[in-house]
Amino acid sequence: MVPAENDESARPASRARPGPRRSLELAQVVDAAMAAIDEGGRDALSVRSVAARLGVRPNALYTYVASRSALEREVVERVLGESDLALLTGPSDRWRTRIRSYALSLREVLLRHPAVATLMMSAPMDGPSAVMIGERLLGALRDAGLPADHAARATYALIVQVIGFVALEVAETDGRPPLPPEAERIAGRRAALEFLDPATWPLSAATRDVAARWISTDQFVWSVDRLLDGVAGRQARGSRR
């Protein structure tokens, strides 16, 4: 019996065409992106530059990152993932130590990738690591006794403090790792402040040594501690009302 012309069962089964082969892994793409931004700064990061490093056409990267914004998101996620999130966990009565320790960890990571600190001013920060940082900061601040809405505000203030501090710190460098030692950068700032004439700017001239150390670890810790003092003080005052 000859099957009818329109009998589908008689036709050989058609095979679905395989999709495009992935010759790379996302981690390789992010590795290349990190190398580009570390070596050339924020402006060196693009889909085209990363593709060139990997020896592929730019279109090949869209399998992994849909846009430059998505590429920036992956870079931010990689750097945030290098920070020690475990520092934000611990006994509730050590909430201040947990936050300070984590802030120092994040600053250390950002100083290893200076251009990423400025990238964070505009890049998406909504990946799993970014969200988990927010979640654990909220938890530490709730342990401090803050109500949820105040903890959320304080979380944002801390994020701005850390990222803003490092962005200003690296703005005085070429933004390429490794940065000069902190002591060397402080000495350079102090020399640059010699122009301050005590007769014209008496207060600024009198505090040149302090201003020179605005980029120091001591200043960073002082800033975080004063922010936490304000948070804790407001909560204490509120609890007495």
Write the burial class of residue 231 (CB in 10 Å: 0-12 exposed, 13-18 middle, 19+ buried).
buried
What integer pLDDT is reported at residue 234 of this predicted model? 72
pLDDT at 238: 62
CATH architecture classification, 22-66: Orthogonal Bundle (1.10)
Confidence at residue 23, expressed as pLDDT on a 0 to 100 scale: 78
Q: Measured between alpha carbons, how far is 227 from 210 in angstroms, rounded to an integer? A: 19
Fold match between 22-66 and 79-239?
A: no
What percent of the chain is predicted at pLDDT more than 90? Answer: 86
Give the pLDDT confidence score for residue 127 in this predicted structure.
Answer: 95
- List the chain residues with pLDDT less than 70: 1-22, 235-241
* CA–CA separation, 145 and 102 (whole Å): 19
User: What crossing angle do the helices spanning 47-54 and 68-82 adopt, rounded to 10°?
Assistant: 70
For the chain, the domains span 22-66, 79-239
CATH match for 79-239 among 1.20.1580.10, 1.10.357.10, 1.20.120.160, 1.10.1060.10: 1.10.357.10
**Which of 36-42's residues contact partners 24+ apart within 8 Å by CB, and which partners?**
37/75, 37/113, 37/115, 37/116, 37/119, 38/113, 38/115, 38/176, 38/177, 39/176, 40/176, 41/115, 41/174, 41/175, 41/176, 42/115, 42/118, 42/119, 42/175
Phi and psi at residue 238, to the nearest 5°: -65, -35
Encode pLDDT of 61-73 as tens digits.
999 999 999 999 9
Backbone phi and psi for residue 223, each to the nearest 5 degrees, phi listed first: -65, -45
